[in-house]
Amino acid sequence: MTAIGSSTLGGLGRAVLRGGGYFLDLLFLAYLAFRELFHLHGPSRRETLRVIHRQILFTGLDALPLLGRIALMIGLTVIVQAVTLLPQVGGEEMLGRVMVLVIIRELGPLLTAIVVVGRSGSAIATELGNMRVAQETDALIVMGISPIRLIVLPRLAGVVLSVICLTLYFDVIAIIGGFIIAGLKLTIPFKVFIGNILSALTFTDLFIFLIKSPLFGIVIASVCCYHGLSVRRSLTEVPQQTTRAIVNSIALSLFLNMIITSLVYL
């Protein structure tokens, strides 16, 4: 083997090991947070729940207006494409199927995850990075306060619950947006439109929703907490780690989406 070939293989091997180590670190962080969830009793419970509540308000409730607008636009766009094509092939009753296929199965969970990464994931990574630099996490440790319990667990729980609710909200708003166009162009009654969607929905779609949303939430919270907590002492590391958190959260969510869709529907 040539020296170049050998060094390329060596580089590839190191990259694989680094990638593997990164996944293990993420899994370990998520495991530590989940473990705290099962030990959530005693005096620290109230304080932890208070932080979870605050995280849900920020990640879930505050995201509703933005996500609603995006969902409406996506619903309208998808249905515009559908109503221009389907009548030509005599498939108006396929509208419900298109909404289920495009919105509920794929775009709903994925776009919600991307919005949560952009809004909350970046905020989490930045906040934790700044906390590291300002020695706030060290202060917690010396006060006998577990950063996993008070920082990571609330963000994980808050993001997971928010992503589940936001995905549901996205689907509903996108469907309403779809109905506005479908109603204008095709004069389909709302009852028929919803009936189409409900009859197109299968148990598998519900299963997919229940799998994808929490998994995306876990990925976003773990990746963003991990990168935020990876900041050591310099403020210049904060934007670097935040960028990594955003890019890796989106990439991992897309990868997971591909794997789940392939496993379930192929």
Pick between residue 141 and residue 198 the one whose CB is nearest to other proteins: 141
Least Å distance, CB 3 to other proteins, is 30
Around Cβ 148, how many Cβ atoms within 10 Å?
A: 16
Least Å distance, CB 245 to other proteins, is 19
Pick between residue 42 and residue 65 the one whose CB is nearest to other proteins: 42
- The tokens describing 141, both together, are 């440790």
Pick between residue 69 and residue 232 the one whose CB is nearest to other proteins: 232
- Backbone phi, psi, residue 26, to 5°: -65, -45
- Backbone phi, psi, residue 185, to 5°: -85, -40
Least Å distance, CB 108 to other proteins, is 31
Least Å distance, CB 218 to other proteins, is 22
Least Å distance, CB 27 to other proteins, is 18
CA distance 257 to 211: 10
SS (H, E, C) 102-165: HHHHHHHHHHHHHHHHHHHHHHHHHHHHHHHHCCHHHHHHHCCCCHHHHHHHHHHHHHHHHHHH
Pick between residue 44 and residue 261 the one whose CB is nearest to other proteins: 44
Q: Which amino acid is at 3?
A: A
> Which parts of this chain interact with other proteins (CB under 8 A)?
42-47, 127, 130-131, 134-136, 138-146, 150
SS (H, E, C) 18-33: HHHHHHHHHHHHHHHH
Pick between residue 77 and residue 130 the one whose CB is nearest to other proteins: 130
